[in-house]
Structure 1
Amino acid sequence: MTYEESLTYLANLTKFGINLGLARIEKLLELMDHPERKFQTIHVAGTNGKGSTTAMLTSILRSSGIKTGMYTSPHLSAYTERMIVNGKEITPDEFGKAIAYTSRFMDKIVAQGLGHPTEFEVLTAAAFYYFAACGVEYAVIEVGLGGLLDSTNVIMPEIAVITNVTLDHTDKCGSTVREIAHHKAGIIKKNVPVITGAEGEALDVIKNISQKNAADCYVYREDFSAAFLEMEGECQKVMVAVGTESKAVPFLVNLLGGHQVDNCALAAMAAIILGKKERRIDTLAIEKGLRTVRWPGRFEIMPGRPTMIIDGAHNPDGIRALRENLDRFCDGKKIVFLLGILQDKDVKTMVTTLVRSQNKVVVVAPVSERAGKPEMVAREIKSEHVEVASSIEEGLERAKLLAGEENILCVAGSLYLIGAVRKIICS
């Protein structure tokens, strides 16, 4: 397949929707001679922060001299962003070849009565195939949805990381925090260390499942901690402490926001635990990895005027962290929002948390079949100035005019929105 043909092929798979379960992916990988077993892995789940934590861990491994793959979802602008080896995206040609190879096995799986693999299952298998073909030593794998029945949950990782657990994807993972925590904790394997930032009843679930699996569980704010110290250039300095007797270590983190302090702690702790087995990982590698990590679209400050911040916050907890960061970093400047939110999200809570009455807002539809209608989103916003645009391009221009030269334009609400905006800006 060419890259364009692979995109058409994947688009045709969306008709199979989200169909949680491991039977199809397990059979697919068996037919592909188990590429997922040809490298070591770290598995990252959680409601918020799993992408940033995945990026941090990947950067730390690379800084240790380890050939490293990274699998994330969704992408911002192109599918090639989802499969990265040593900091380089898979090329369009390689992507087409990986999807073409994976597609060869579809008929056999359907013939066995398992149903047709979904788009995400095909992408996951293709990523494992690509990483194996590239000879990666480690791959950091981000969960797509939940954990227990997610397509990525076919690996036997060296470390399992569960960033946090809040209400999200309630239609797939349960309507309570405990039910969702059960899905996230599904990535826990026997004798595999667990690092988590979960709290409350979600933490109780994770600790219980860890104990049943004889898996050591390291808990943020109990076994390790982190605190923001100061800004140093474009990085924030974070102090990470492990245990009660170990000396705290300062790290510069190339991602902004209070939530990144937490993610930094999780990534550093996972690296410290893994470093007991993998001697190439040391304090210097952790320091370099955190200082050089890049993760576009997460409180990312774009060049030019007005100052534009794009952030992938797409659920209430993510929005809450974004609002805290805006209050912290924007020095009282006026903020204009360009918002686009999916219809299956808690729109009312999100906009109520993010938007103040004095903020001006432009609402658009994200590039997704699940996009919420801008008019419906706008009705939930209690602001003196709310308007709806018919396209992202139009909305971006309107929001820029409202922000002027001196104020701040913040784009948020959906990864599908910020991906489209980032593509416009960077093209």
Structure 2
Amino acid sequence: MRILTYETTGKKGSAAVAADDGRICWSASHEEMDHLKDITVLARQSLGEMDVDVSQVTCVAASIGPGSFTGIRIGVTTARTVSQMLGVPCIAVPTLEGMTRLGQMYLDTLPDDGKKPEYILTVINARRRQAYGALWKDCSGLPEEVMEQKQYIIDDMVPEIDSSISEDSRILVVGDGFDAYDEAIYGLTNGDNRIVPAPENFRYQRADAVASVALEKAKKGEFTDYSHLLPDYMRKSEAEMRLENGTLSKRIKSPDTITIRRALPGDLDRIAELEKKTFPDPWTKDDLAKDINSPDAVVLTAQWGTVFAGYIDVWRVAGEGQLNRIAVDRSYRGRKIGLRLMKEMISILKSQGDQEMNLEVRAGNRPARSLYSKLGFRELGVRPDYYQDNGEDAVIMKKELKDND
């Protein structure tokens, strides 16, 4: 096994190669925030030190966040690209887990004199008195998560740490959150020697620690395909928040950020969750899984950036496509995601030789009826009392699939 690993969530990027015998070779950038320029060079250096060719890589891992939004995107996108190119699986490593392993690596360098910290605090500066963090108990192996990985207000985080540990416990602190909030972190122990900041060479994210976690995940079979290796920002980006409050420019709101692709078995949980949110009579996971795997159905998913935002499900019978489900997450409506799903589905049906597409829509769903009309669907009639939840009529619509539309 050879795992090529990327770590780009901190100020300095790094790459590593891990072998199944536990050996890890890694290289780090000397400059801050040069991820895009350096990451491929660092990976090549790590491969050279391990004396393996990229063609011998059997898996690609990435630190998926939280951390620098831009850095996360660079690392995850690079890993996805290499994974797809080589035809090998991926492993997602949460950044805070990689940092915890880094803390364990430092603790292993200390004398076993009974004075080692029993806990590891991983904390990343999220600015404005906020931090991404977690508290772990070092259990001489896999650490135990004492406080969950999430975004904290630092002034709320400190009392929670204090209440989660015994009075005489010592804490190793890993991450640049200590640089920003050292006064608050020291304050939780009233100035005694219970806080142990990791030295700089063990304080910030490193690819060798991420690769070490990836090795353990590989042994457990925790793989995913490249399309499901996704960032975990742990909070919305400023752009997303501005989009929600209406202060983002129309140019940035462009539907070019929408990605449509065929659904995979790994999408099932998210599709089922959206199904429950959207319909009063949700399909079961078994029903949805049958369509994802059936040659007589087409199921597509939509992503807004890297976020799952919608899906469409159509049956193909005797040259006709029958729309069963189309749903867009409420948070992402009004961004033409439904339109893109429909257009892509129509294109697929035409390419497979189908002659027409049919659907039923609630009579009172004016926006949907308008959308379908713009796509060339004609209203053929009404099915009275069709919907069981409220007895609403269904409008029958049909579109002929012509080569020139």
TM category (shorter chain) comes to: under 0.3
Structure ranking higher in helix proportion: 1
Between 1 and 2, higher relative CO (CA 8 Å, sep ≥ 6) is seen in 1
Larger radius of gyration: 2
User: In proportion to residue count, which structure has more strand?
Assistant: 2
Per the normalisation by structure 2, the TM-score is: 0.27
TM-score calculated relative to the size of structure 1: 0.26
